[in-house]
Amino acid sequence: MYFFREGTSGQTALAPKVQPPNIVVILTDDQGYADVGFHGSKDIRTPNIDRIANNGVVCTEGYVSYAVCGPSRAGLLTGRYQDRFGFGRNPLMAPNDPAMGLPLTEETIADLLKKANYSTAVMGKWHLGAHPTLHPNRRGFDEFYGFLSGGHQYFPENLTLKDLSEVKAQFDAYRTKLLHNTKRVEEKEYLTDALSREAIRFIRKKKDSPFFLYLAYNAPHAPLQATEKYLSRYPEIKDPRRRTYAAMVSAVDDGVGGILNTLEELKIDRNTIVFFLSDNGGPTPDNASSNAPLRGKKSDFFEGGIRVPFAVQWPGKIPAGTRYNNPVISLDIFATAAALANVQPKNELDGVNLMPFLTGQNKGFPHDYLYWRNFDQQKWAVRSRNEKMITQPNTDFLFQIKADIGEKNNLAEKDSKTLNGLKSKAIQWNRKLLDPAFLGLSQDKEYSQSHPDRYQVVEDF
Ligand code: CA
């Protein structure tokens, strides 16, 4: 692309305009660490997700900022530890509560990139508030196709509620018809396929402008639902739940393939950075996922809750087929986007620009420490370069995490000096944090009692 600008001599010259890269973030939901080909999955095949790894880098120690959906997404989309702004719980479905979701003090990655003239879209799960003031179209996204709740039914025939006014209980929202911006639509496809289709449509439409696409699949989050097209790929998996989960991951994988093919066909793949990650670890009993060899599961601060499949491609910029073994976190995506788009964030960030690290230019560590807090359980975790500490009432854990990926050997009693050092880091960090600003999923009943009109829809578009 060319435009006219003043040369140093004062003459108008034809000069190439350096366009910042397109940015694509593909987020899966509750996918286990083990359940991608690039981590050696034995039963689930993800050839397209693996293409991202082969085209770029696997971050083997890729973390998210929380062990369940909502707070993890709030961190991802703001580049900040979500407890800094009171997002310490999974929000409830409460369309008339403007405080139930991402506070307006926060700048989203889409708000940020709008300042650099990006076209922006979110396809899939929002989960950052259902009040009109918190709608994706008000949070920097030009386009939204998906749902506001924390999960959804996958088969179109199950989408029987015409809008949120028909929601009478928290999980009813899973049955609402999908939204295209603020309008309800009649979707005909299996949800994962629909989200892939919309993502590809957006890329085609915006191929000439820098764009930001946040493709937030709810798969493979429960309910376990897959079509025969995907189930038929796994006749050998005997456990019907694991088979359905595998099929759901396979549907995502097809979508990822469609997106990569589209970028290549349009010849914009070399000007597009693609991130792939899961929002938290697999909830192994709920969706038959696997976090092997990690200990624990979704909602834990063991690695199985917070370490996720994480890969990044940018052909020509990030060396292909590499592995990056220092800890990185989902919060880094925002900071990387800000650097690539050359735009100043509104708020102080906790992430860092990953590009110098992923290209090998900077051999250091992106972070000296990473932090987690579960306010309701009064639990903290701190990751240093080689160690990890978890502290909760009456129990401490300390692991040499680099050497003990499965967190088998608790050194808390043996090495109290290291333990206390990491605890003091948590105490310092905690001073920057706010108490949760809203009641969460585990306080559903209490919230309904104090907010009897919680499902009342506010019409203000
Ligand atoms: Ca999740």
Smallest Cα–Cα separation from 124: which of 155, 151, 146?
A: 146
- Does a structural domain hold residue 61? yes
Task: Give percent of the chain above pLDDT 90.
Answer: 93
- Within this chain, do residues 349 and 387 fall inside the same structural domain, yes or no? no
Res 8: pLDDT: 43
Full residue range of the structural domain in which residue 124 is found: 19-358
> Ligand 1 centre and the CA of 117: distance in Å?
30
- Does a structural domain hold residue 9? no
Res 461: pLDDT: 53
Question: How far is Cα of residue 168 from the mean position of the Cα atoms in its chain?
Answer: 28
Smallest Cα–Cα separation from 263: which of 313, 321, 310?
A: 313
Res 5: pLDDT: 44
- Within this chain, do residues 387 and 257 fall inside the same structural domain, yes or no? no
Res 14: pLDDT: 56
- Within this chain, do residues 96 and 174 fall inside the same structural domain, yes or no? yes
Q: Is 414 buried (19+), middle (13-18) or exposed (0-12) by CB count in 10 A? A: exposed
Phi, psi of 286 (to 5 degrees): -80, -40
Element (H, E) at 73: helix 69-78
pTM value is 0.96
- Does a structural domain hold residue 270? yes
> Ligand 1 centre and the CA of 294: distance in Å?
17
Split the chain (461 residues) into runs of 10 and give each run's mean pLDDT.
41 63 98 98 98 98 98 98 98 96 98 98 98 98 98 98 91 96 97 99 97 98 98 98 98 99 98 98 97 98 98 98 98 98 98 98 98 98 98 97 98 98 98 98 95 85 53
- Does a structural domain hold residue 451? no
- Within this chain, do residues 345 and 383 fall inside the same structural domain, yes or no? no
The tally of domains found in the chain comes to: 2
Q: What is the DSSP string of 209-257?
A: S-EEEEEE--TTSSS----HHHHTT-TT--SHHHHHHHHHHHHHHHHHH
What are the tokens at 340?
A: 């690539």
> Ligand 1 centre and the CA of 145: distance in Å?
19
Domain CATH code at residue 395: 3.30.1120.10
Token pair 């971050």: residue: 59
Catalytic annotation present for 127: yes
Res 6: pLDDT: 41
Catalytically annotated residue among 39, 69, 131, 221: 69
> Ligand 1 centre and the CA of 222: distance in Å?
10
- Does a structural domain hold residue 369? no
- Within this chain, do residues 168 and 257 fall inside the same structural domain, yes or no? yes
Res 372: pLDDT: 99
Res 459: pLDDT: 74
Query: pLDDT tens, 117-166?
Result: 999 999 999 999 999 999 999 999 999 999 999 999 999 999 999 988 89
Measured at the CA of 31, the angle between CA 25 and CA 37, to 5 degrees, comes to 85
Res 59: pLDDT: 98
Catalytic annotation present for 131: no
- Does a structural domain hold residue 63? yes
- Within this chain, do residues 423 and 307 fall inside the same structural domain, yes or no? no
Res 306: pLDDT: 98
- Within this chain, do residues 256 and 303 fall inside the same structural domain, yes or no? yes
Res 18: pLDDT: 75
Question: Is 441 strand, coil or helix?
Answer: helix
- Within this chain, do residues 385 and 327 fall inside the same structural domain, yes or no? no
How far is the CA of 211 from the CAs of 268, 275, 397, in angstroms?
A: 11, 14, 43
- Does a structural domain hold residue 326? yes
- Does a structural domain hold residue 436? no
> Ligand 1 centre and the CA of 220: distance in Å?
9
> Ligand 1 centre and the CA of 279: distance in Å?
5
Res 10: pLDDT: 43
Q: What is the rounded CA–CA span in Å between residue 391 and residue 380?
A: 5
Catalytically annotated residue among 39, 59, 127, 131: 127
> Ligand 1 centre and the CA of 72: distance in Å?
8
- Within this chain, do residues 353 and 410 fall inside the same structural domain, yes or no? no
